Amino acid sequence: MADLDPEIVAHYEVYDEADRLIRDNRLEFLRTAEIINRSAQPPPAVVVDVGGGPGVYATWLANQGYRVHLFDVVPRHVEAVLRASDTERLTAEIADARQIPMDDETCDRLLGVLRRLESEPALLGASPHLLAVAARPIGHPVRPGA
C-alpha cells in the first residue's frame, strides 16, 4: 500500500466507527442517507464505497438492492463487512483511497465520505482527481451519465 501513515490504520483498529454513525451520531447517518436517496440511481445500480469503514452505508445500500463494493484501508473494517454481509450484493476489499483497483466506468455511483482526504492534503497524495469525483458523481470509475 502507498505511503499510508500507520497512525491512521492504528486509530481505526481501535476506534468503533460503526458506533459513531449508528449510536453516537445517528443524525449524520440519516442526513447522509437522505442525500444518497435523493441523488442515487435506483437499485440494482452499482455503488463503490471508498473509505467505507465498517460498512454502515454499504450494508444499508445492499439491503435496498444495490450492488455495493467497499474499499477501506483498515483490515478490521473490511473483515467486519465480509463477516456481516449476508448477500452477494455486498463485497469488500482492502485498498487505499488513493489507489482504488477498479477499471474506468464500472460503477453508477461513487460514495466516499472522504473528510480525511479533504482535511489532510498529505493523505491525498497524487490523486486530486478522487476529491473531484467525491464532490460530484461523475468521473473514474463512474460510468458516463451516472
> 14-66: per-residue pLDDT in tens?
777 766 766 767 787 788 888 888 877 889 999 999 888 889 889 999 999 99
Which uninterrupted H or E stretch holds 39?
Answer: helix 26-39
- 142 pLDDT tier (thresholds 50, 70, 90): low
Cβ contact 146:138 at 8 Å: yes
pLDDT of residue 123: 42
Asked if the bond preceding 44 is cis, omega within 30° of 0, the reply is: yes
Higher-confidence residue of 89 and 141: namely 89
Structural domains in the chain plus CATH codes: 6-135 (3.40.50.150)
